[in-house]
Structure 1
Amino acid sequence: MKKTDLSKKRGSSTIVDCDHTFTIMLLGDSCTGKTCLLVRFKDGTFLNNNFISTVGIDYRNKLVDVNGSKVKLQIWDTAGQERFRSVTSAYYRDADALLLVFDVTNRQSFDNIRNWLAQIREYAQESVAILLVGNKIDLNVQRKVKPDEGKQLAATYEIPYMETSAKTGQNVNDAFMQLASKLTRSRVGGQEDSNKIDLNDSRNVASPYSSWCCGGASK
């Protein structure tokens, strides 16, 4: 059964039909580029350094086509500051997918990924789809986290890994669209998402990259 979203415009209202609606949350430390990734995907533009950091929660909608299905993505942008953690955790349960972002030029943001995964385990749905994203690969000369380190961490938790640049747009659309495709396939096929994490398992397992793209560093 199709879901119907009423989208209002100035002076008129338009009915937009969609086959599926999914909620995607952007998570990660402050200043990792979460808002820039969202704006790049939604509007195709890049925010300069003068924008104001997200306070608490913000969101935007985008209608995309996934193999002929109209899919509405409700994308929630969250603040990475510690004082907002209790606010953002309240939204975890409603998320169908999580884009977990770190800055490849900021080692601390990468080291904190395990803490974010612990929060995900505590608050999110067991079946939530997770994509680990290393952002800002346009700043390759300032890189502090090697691509193999990102892949290794993702493999440990059995989640896919991708590298992006919100500035150039590299792999940004792919990141959101692959999540949308995965969620759509799961719903249509009636299958549970396989992106489950076991934070007690420290083994290095084979990375499930067969249907995901690991974006390389910019040249």
Structure 2
Amino acid sequence: MAHRVDNEYDYLFKIVLIGDSGVGKSNILSRFTRNEFCLESKSTIGVEFATRTLQLTKGSRIWTPVKKRIDGKTVKAQIWDTAGQERYRAITSAYYRGAVGALLVFDITKRQTFDNVQRWLRELRDHADANIVVMMVGNKSDLNHLRSVPEEDSQAFSEKESLSFLETSALEAINVEKAFHTVLSEIHQIVSKKALAAQESASANGRSMQGTTINVAEPSTNTKGSCCSS
């Protein structure tokens, strides 16, 4: 689920953005990784990705930009923006492999993009790791006057599917950081628990071996015909 690498960062987490074309996935990516927004952004062709390195300070759940090495875990988030057009679905499905987190994005002003969330979730669960951390994101909250998806509907669906949920605005930079930070924190928590369980298992196995004599070979009264005799 995670890989320990060099001193630059402790973990590399792959996160995918999925959802229909035009819901704002590319602008969510650029807002989080570069703090940029493009009003004239075009549909993604195939797959694009960008990275951002953050640090979780010890004893805290707050992620901060990496400026210098301090006491905490440094995570490099590798965010993949998968094209939402139907004709690219066969290409992008391969990129679910290795993903440990996902933002499932829909447009709160377009009901159809919300209705399609179930299909995207099914595809994600078919192709991704069973332990992947998923957050549902209702984007374009700045267009509340054009809303066609009541927040109550989104909340009900997310609860039914056991998903985290947030409404965001990539344009106004609302809740974009929070969405990624929430997913990264959940992933880090899972990784930490697995690491702790592995350490406890190794420690327990070490204790069980103490004071035990293991005879590699039993003494034999007749060594003739042994497979090891010369």
With the shorter chain as reference, the TM-score category is 0.7 to 0.9
Query: How many residue pairs are counted as aligned between the two chains?
Result: 179
Name the CA distance, whole Å, in 2 between partners of 1:167 and 1:184. 28
What residue is the counterpart of 2:150 in the other structure? 146
TM-score scaled by length of structure 1: 0.79
Q: CA deviation at 1:93?
A: 2.1
Structure 2 residue 78 is the aligned partner of structure 1 residue 88: no
For residue 52 of structure 2, what is the amino acid of its counterpart? K
Deviations 1:166-219 (A, max 9, x none): 00000000001111111111111218xxxxxxxxxxxxxxxxxxxxxxxxxxxx
Structure 2 residue 164 is the aligned partner of structure 1 residue 173: no
What residue is the counterpart of 2:46 in the other structure? 56
What residue is the counterpart of 1:26 in the other structure? 17
Task: Please show how residues 31-110 of structure 1 align to structure 2 within 5 Å.
Answer: 31-48=22-39, 50-67=40-57, 68-110=72-114
Name the CA distance, whole Å, in 2 between partners of 1:55 and 1:2. 31
**Greater strand fraction, Structure 1 or Structure 2:** 1
Of the three residues 9, 17, 23, the one matched with 2:8 is 17
- When Rg is computed on C-alpha atoms for both structures, the one with the higher figure is 2
| Ranges of 4+ aligned residues in structure 1 off by more than 3 Å | none
Name the CA distance, whole Å, in 2 between partners of 1:3 and 1:154. 34
Name the CA distance, whole Å, in 1 between partners of 2:131 and 2:166. 20
Name the CA distance, whole Å, in 2 between partners of 1:142 and 1:73. 33
Contact 1:56/1:79 (CA < 8 Å) preserved in 2?
Answer: yes
Contact 2:17/2:102 (CA < 8 Å) preserved in 1?
Answer: yes
Contact 1:28/1:113 (CA < 8 Å) preserved in 2?
Answer: yes
Q: CA deviation at 1:2?
A: 4.0
- What runs of 5+ residues in structure 1 fail to find an aligned partner? 5-15, 192-219
Name the CA distance, whole Å, in 2 between partners of 1:104 and 1:51. 19
SS in 2 for 1:189: helix
For residue 38 of structure 2, what is the amino acid of its counterpart? L
Structure 2 residue 138 is the aligned partner of structure 1 residue 134: yes
Deviations 1:125-169 (A, max 9, x none): 111110000000000000000111111111111111111000000
Contact 1:66/1:184 (CA < 8 Å) preserved in 2?
Answer: no
- What runs of 5+ residues in structure 2 fail to find an aligned partner? 58-71, 196-230
Query: What's the % identity of the aligned pairs?
Result: 39
Q: CA deviation at 1:52?
A: 2.0
**Greater helix fraction, Structure 1 or Structure 2:** 2
